[in-house]
Chain A
Amino acid sequence: MEKPIRVLVGKPGLDGHDRGAKVIARALRDAGMEVIYTGLRQTAEQIVHAAIQEDVDCVAVSILSGAHNTLLPKINELLIKEGGEDILFVAGGVIPEADIPFLKEHGVKAIFTPGTPTTVSIRFIEEHVKR
Chain B
Amino acid sequence: MYDEKKMMGLKEELGLYNGRVEKSLARFPERKEVFYSGSKEEVNRLYTPLDLEDQDFGESIGFPGSYPYTRGVQPNMYRGRLWTMRMYAGFATAEESNQRYKFLVEQGSSGLSVAFDLPTQIGYDSDHDLSEGEVGKVGVAIDSLMDMEVLFDGIPLDKVSTSMTINAPAAVLLAMYIAVAEKQGISAEKLRGTIQNDILKEYIARGTYIFPTEPSMRLITDIFAYCSEHVPQWNTISISGYHIREAGSTAAQEVGFTLADGIAYVEAALEAGLLIDDFAPRLSFFFNAHNDLLEEVAKYRAARRLWARIMKERFDAKDPKSMMMKFHTQTAGSTLTAQQSENNIVRVTIQTLAAVLGGTQSLHTNSKDEALALPTEESVRTALRTQQIVAHESGVTNTVDPLAGSYYIEAKTNEIEEEAMEYIRRIDDLGGAAKAIDDGFIQREIMDAAYSYQKDVENEEAIVVGVNKYQVEESTPQNLLRVDPIVGENQKEKLRLLRSARDQEAVDQALAHLKTVAQEDENVMPALLVAVKTYATLGEITDVLREVFGEYKQAVII
Residues of A within 8 A of B (CB): 13-19, 22-23, 25-27, 29, 37, 39-41, 43, 65-67, 69-71, 94, 96-98, 113-115, 117-119
Contact = CB atoms under 8 A, between A and B. Distances in A.
A69 B122 CA distance: 21
Contacts of A69: 133, 485
B137 A115 contact: no
Contact of B118 (A13, A43, A114): A13
A71 B467 CA distance: 28
Interface string B182-213: 00000000000000000000100111110000
A114 B134 contact: no
B132 A71 contact: yes
A67 B248 contact: no
A65 to B, nearest CB: 6
A15 B476 contact: no
Given A16-B207, A69-B133, A39 B339 contact: no
Nearest to A67: B133
24 contacts: A13-B134, A14-B118, A14-B119, A14-B122, A14-B134, A15-B138, A17-B246, A19-B247, A19-B334, A23-B248, A23-B450, A26-B447, A26-B451, A26-B558, A40-B207, A65-B118, A66-B134, A66-B374, A67-B132, A70-B132, A71-B133, A114-B336, A114-B371, A115-B467
B129 interface: yes
B454 interface: yes
B554 interface: yes
Contacts of A67: 132-134, 137
Nearest to A115: B467
Nearest to A13: B134
Given A39-B554, A94-B371, A114-B337, A23 B454 contact: yes
Given A18-B207, A23-B450, A115-B337, 7 more contacts: A16-B206, A22-B557, A40-B554, A96-B372, A97-B477, A114-B337, A114-B371
B483 interface: yes
A98 to B, nearest CB: 6
B483 A66 contact: yes
A31 to B, nearest CB: 12
A52 to B, nearest CB: 20
Interface in B116-157: 118-119, 121-122, 124, 129-134, 137-138
Nearest to B336: A114
B457 A14 contact: no
Contacts of B334: 19
A121 B160 CA distance: 48
A118 B454 contact: yes
Contacts of A25: 558
A16 B451 contact: no
B556 A39 contact: yes
Given A97-B476, A113-B338, A19 B246 contact: yes
A127 to B, nearest CB: 18
B389 interface: no
Contact of A65 (B137, B338, B468, B556): B137
A19 B248 contact: yes
A107 B79 CA distance: 58
